[in-house]
Amino acid sequence: MSVLEIRGLQVSVDTENGSVEILKGVDLTIKSGETHAIMGPNGSGKSTLAYSIAGHPKYTITGGSVTLDGADVLDMTVDERAKAGLFLAMQYPVEVPGVSVSNFLRTAATALRGEAPKLRTWVAEVKGAMEALNMDPSFATRNVNEGFSGGEKKRHEIMQLELLKPKMAILDETDSGLDVDALRIVSEGVNRAKANNDLGVLLITHYTRILKYIKPDFVHVFANGKIVEEGGPDLADKLEANGYADYVSK
Amino acid sequence: MSVLTTNYLTPTGREEAWRFTPLKRLRGLHDGTAIVGGRNSLVTKAGLPQGASFTRESLAPLAVSDDVIIERIRGEVSDVAHLSIDANAEIKEPIFLTRSAGALDSAELSRVRISLGTHAVATVIVENIGDTLLAEDLEIALAPGSSLTFVTLQEFDSKSVYTARHHAVVDKDATFKSITVTVGGDVVRILPTVEFTAPGASAELLGVYFATTGQFFEHRMHVDHAVPNAKSRVNFKGALAGRDAHTVWIGDVLIRAVAEGTDTYELNRNLLLTDGARADSVPNLEIETGEIVGAGHASTTGRFDDEQLFYLMSRGITLENARRLVVRGFFNEIITEIGNEEVQERLMERIDGELERAGA
């Protein structure tokens, strides 16, 4: 049983006009097996929350704490956070020219498992993960995210989620840019990871449609850098009907 | 042993061709003060396949050169190491040439010829290794319809000085592809040059270089489109790490008035891995006719992409390994063109080692 605890998190980012505060005190606790949806309008700071937890250098933590099973996440380097069990599925996965998907996955798995996976079982493992996400075998030889379609990038992220087996996953707008079929395939991948690894999920989304496939236990409405309302799955239905207008004007 | 004759114009560093080169570090190759030893270091690494021969013979130069060091070599040396591929021979396995001897207290003046008969196909890999003072006039003759992949590996130790012209003369419908890799030496200055003598010829000049602390690597291309309907591509990628690492890439492409239907593109990309290094990149396209298929160039110099490093590290990969992956990936596009796994892996390991030594 793992617990990701976010307390009073304040984050700012440097802009041309000086430092701007984006997160204004976020409190959130996620336990293994739970799925929390964070919903909010564009520009509310949802992605900043995701990237701050993962340790992107662009963001400066100005207050609060993030711990995973009591360990200070904010004190860890980016790779240490991954080794502690955190995973961020990115909205815009980055191209790494000249580095093949298979080389990348094996390097990551070696780093996270502390030893190189045995070649024979590893090849089968990757093949299985790719098949489960309807990915062509030629994918493994392509360069990381280079020339991938939007849907391919998201499948590649979820394939990593399944292979690398983190304790906590943050999915940053994984649903954006996916057609209905791809959304279903990607969601099934997330649900498999939940079932197999007792994964805790922080699902960041703008729209409710992904919640039909990945059922949240808790829904948090995010606006102007903090959580403004919390509830069960029915809160998503309310948002579907009324939009975010009530929260933005607050 | 003899001292080079000195009735040549000694470069001062003010000439366009020499303005980047640290002349004082050339150990007298450029001004005739180097003592010439009697070395003929280029040898075949293994037995030669059928259809290939390697001899020493007296040969007149293929093409004129205005490079003063090349002129000096030609003034001193008539004996040429000649690798010849018979007409119509199709040699699948690469032919390796390597260095059998080296020294820093005397210079080797080397003349090399690689010639392919009509419709011959071959891959030649030249391994430049050890610590040596070496000036080389290397000429390549491609007969009509022949195809050569020419790989030169500058894997020198840290004190070597190597100045050379690698000049290809490409005849009708012949295909020349060169891959120039420079990862070792104190000063390396190579002139990869090409002239087309008949239509339908093509040349692809690829290269990678990685200079670390104090190293100077210069690659000065010249592609002469003197006939119609020839195609050329240039793609050189360089990385630099450590104080006073300095690279120079010059891409001179000349499209003469008669060279209608020319198709050319040249590209140079540099990756600055630390502060204190300097990459000079000068594409230079001279076009004397508008009746061409295409002509273009691009040059970029950048640093590590923080987003790439973040992405890799977010999957548990350490900063050091993430950098290594990105650098390997950067060079991979060119290195894989060599087509020999053993050589490719050896080069990647050398690059890893250089990266580590430079503390990047």
Query: What pLDDT, on a 0 to 100 scale, did the predictor assign at position B360?
Result: 64
Distance from C-alpha of A151 to C-alpha of A181, rounded to nearest angstrom: 10
CB contact under 8 A, A104 and B307: no
Tell me what the mean pLDDT of segment B279-298 comes to: 96
Q: How many angstroms separate the Cα of B89 from the Cα of each of A56, A213, B39?
A: 57, 63, 31
Whole-number percent of chain A with pLDDT over 90? 89
Q: Which of A235-244, B221-230, B342-351 has the lowest mean pLDDT?
A: A235-244
Query: What pLDDT, on a 0 to 100 scale, did the predictor assign at position B303?
Result: 92
Tell me what the mean pLDDT of segment B252-280 comes to: 96
Residue type at A217 in one-letter notation: D
B38 falls in which pLDDT band (50, 70, 90)? confident
Residues contacting residue B281 through CB under 8 Å, at least 6 positions apart: B248, B249, B268, B270, B299, B301
Tell me what the mean pLDDT of segment B26-30 comes to: 94
User: Sign of dihedral through CA atoms B327, B333, B338, B341?
Assistant: positive
**Structure confidence by residue, pLDDT tens digits, B71-100:** 999 999 999 999 999 999 999 999 999 999
Tell me what the mean pLDDT of segment B307-319 comes to: 97
Query: What pLDDT, on a 0 to 100 scale, did the predictor assign at position B1?
Result: 47
Query: What pLDDT, on a 0 to 100 scale, did the predictor assign at position B356?
Result: 87
Tell me what the mean pLDDT of segment A104-118 comes to: 96
CB contact under 8 A, A82 and B313: yes
CB contact under 8 A, A88 and B314: yes
Concatenated DSSP letters of B160-217:
-EEEEEEEEEE-TT-EEEEEEEEEE-SEEEEEEEEEE-STT-EEEEEEEEEEETT-EE
**Structure confidence by residue, pLDDT tens digits, A69-85:** 999 999 999 999 999 99
Residues contacting residue B139 through CB under 8 Å, at least 6 positions apart: B61, B62, B63, B111, B112, B113, B114, B167, B168, B169
Name the closest residue on chain B to residue A50, using Cα atoms: B314
Tell me what the mean pLDDT of segment B53-82 comes to: 95
Is B300 part of the contact surface with chain A (CB cutoff 8 Å)? no
Please name the member of A57, A96, A160 whose beta carbon is closest to the beta carbon of B326. Answer: A96
Distance from C-alpha of B358 to C-alpha of B183, rounded to nearest angstrom: 13
CB contact under 8 A, B333 and A111: no
Name the closest residue on chain B to residue A91, using Cα atoms: B311
Question: Nearest C-alpha of chain B: how many angstroms from A166?
Answer: 10
Q: Which residues of B touch A99 (CB under 8 A)?
A: 325-326, 328-329, 332
Q: Which residues of A touch B305 (CB under 8 A)?
A: 94
Tell me what the mean pLDDT of segment B19-28 comes to: 96
Whole-number percent of chain B with pLDDT over 70? 98
CB contact under 8 A, B310 and A112: no
Is B50 part of the contact surface with chain A (CB cutoff 8 Å)? no
Q: Which residues of A touch B306 (CB under 8 A)?
A: 57
Is B66 part of the contact surface with chain A (CB cutoff 8 Å)? no
Listed residue (B151, B159, B112) closest to B135, CA to CA? B112
Q: Which residues of A touch B332 (CB under 8 A)?
A: 97-99
* Model confidence at B59: pLDDT above 80: yes
CB contact under 8 A, B321 and A111: yes
Tell me what the mean pLDDT of segment B315-339 comes to: 96
Q: Which residues of B touch A168 (CB under 8 A)?
A: none
Q: Which residues of B touch A160 (CB under 8 A)?
A: 315
Q: Provide the b/e sequence for A12-51 (b: ≥16 CB within 10 Å).
A: bbeeeeeeeebbbebebebebebbbbbbbbeebbbbbbbb
Q: How many angstroms separate the Cα of B143 from the Cα of each of A198, B52, B65?
A: 67, 15, 21
CB contact under 8 A, B315 and A55: no
Distance from C-alpha of B202 to C-alpha of B263, rounded to nearest angstrom: 9
CB contact under 8 A, A112 and B316: yes
Q: Which residues of A touch B328 (CB under 8 A)?
A: 98-99
Q: Crossing angle of helices A119-132/A150-164, nearest 10°?
A: 130
* Model confidence at B193: pLDDT above 60: yes
Which of A47, A73, A107, A158 is the best substitution to test chain B (most B C-beta atoms within 10 A)?
Answer: A107
Residue matched to tokens 């630390």: B274
Name the closest residue on chain A to residue B307, using Cα atoms: A94
Residues contacting residue A166 through CB under 8 Å, at least 6 positions apart: A82, A85, A86, A87, A197, A199
User: Sign of dihedral through CA atoms A177, A182, A185, A188?
Assistant: positive
Query: What pLDDT, on a 0 to 100 scale, did the predictor assign at position A213?
Result: 96
Listed residue (B137, B93, B85) closest to B343, CA to CA? B93
Tell me what the mean pLDDT of segment A174-181 comes to: 92
Helix (H) or strand (E) holding A84: helix A78-84
Query: What pLDDT, on a 0 to 100 scale, did the predictor assign at position A13?
Result: 95
CB A27 within 8 A of CB A67: no
Question: Nearest C-alpha of chain B: how many angstroms from A223?
Answer: 26
**Structure confidence by residue, pLDDT tens digits, A236-247:** 989 888 888 888
CB contact under 8 A, B315 and A94: no
pLDDT averaged over chain A?
95
pTM over 0.95: no
Name the closest residue on chain B to residue A54, using Cα atoms: B314
Concatenated DSSP letters of A87-103:
EEE-SSPPPEEEEEHHH
pLDDT averaged over chain B?
95
* Model confidence at B42: pLDDT above 60: yes
**Structure confidence by residue, pLDDT tens digits, A24-66:** 999 999 999 999 999 999 889 999 999 999 999 999 999 999 9
Tell me what the mean pLDDT of segment B15-28 comes to: 95
Written as six digits, the tokens of A53 are: 């937890």
Which of A52, A53, A78 is the best substitution to test chain B (most B C-beta atoms within 10 A)?
Answer: A78
CB contact under 8 A, B321 and A160: no
Listed residue (A101, A109, A104) closest to A140, CA to CA? A101
Burial of B61 (0-12, 13-18, 19+ CB in 10 A): middle
Question: Nearest C-alpha of chain B: how many angstroms from A246?
Answer: 35
Task: Give the length of chain B.
Answer: 360
CB contact under 8 A, B315 and A54: no
Tell me what the mean pLDDT of segment B227-256 comes to: 97
* Model confidence at B286: pLDDT above 90: yes
Is B319 part of the contact surface with chain A (CB cutoff 8 Å)? yes
A107 falls in which pLDDT band (50, 70, 90)? very high
